A and B are shown apart, each in its own frame.
Chain A
């Protein structure tokens, strides 16, 4: 149950696009199309932004998109806005019937 690997921080200017990577193994990210992404603002509960690699829950802006290639999943935020500044976590189903999270990425809007 090793954590997925995410960059500690990513930054961008308003209006730009940024991408957060999430690297696992063939036992989790690479083995299933079950990667989720969560947004967490300070002191708040996580919010589901992407599920099943690239699907968005109702109400989530289409500026958020997800993809996967091999053992690496990615979250792209386009048209970056001040309200997007938060921590982002990826999560994947694992072959041990458990889930594993990434270490989290702090997104800063410059």
Chain B
């Protein structure tokens, strides 16, 4: 059974940093690209970042470029999102998802972890 479990969310002050983790199981992690998607309270989905299986290809949304860093450790079956210079509008539930490999669709999602940026 494919499982993705996010952790690391919480309350952080504006300008602060936070590192999210996503532990996966049930599939060969290194063979799949992964993505982070976020959802502000009461709002729609927003794509955040993408990383290929080998970490050789990485993309970011303009809204987080230069502040967030996506990474993975295939030996630990884990995906990460280092979030720096956090702003109020980064407040959201952050989901990790498995890229299906077909046209940018994500076929399995975690339950999400809430990040709240507030003073």
Contact = CB atoms under 8 A, between A and B. Distances in A.
A51 B44 contact: no
Interface stretch (B15-23, B66-74, B77-85, B106-114): B106-114
Interface string B80-119: 0000000000000001010010111111011110000000
A98 B61 contact: yes
A103 B47 contact: no
Interface string A74-110: 0000000000000001011100011111111000000
A47 B100 CA distance: 12
B110 to A, nearest CB: 7
Interface string A12-23: 000000000000
B47 A99 contact: yes
Nearest to B93: A45
Nearest to B49: A98
Chain A, interface size: which category? 20 to 34
B42 to A, nearest CB: 10
B111 A33 contact: no
23 contacts: A1-B63, A3-B44, A34-B102, A36-B104, A36-B105, A40-B45, A45-B95, A45-B109, A48-B105, A51-B100, A51-B103, A51-B107, A52-B102, A57-B100, A91-B45, A93-B103, A98-B60, A100-B47, A101-B45, A101-B46, A101-B47, A104-B44, A104-B45
Given A97-B50, A101-B45, 14 more contacts: A32-B103, A45-B95, A45-B111, A51-B103, A57-B107, A89-B44, A91-B45, A91-B104, A98-B47, A98-B61, A99-B50, A101-B46, A103-B44, A104-B44
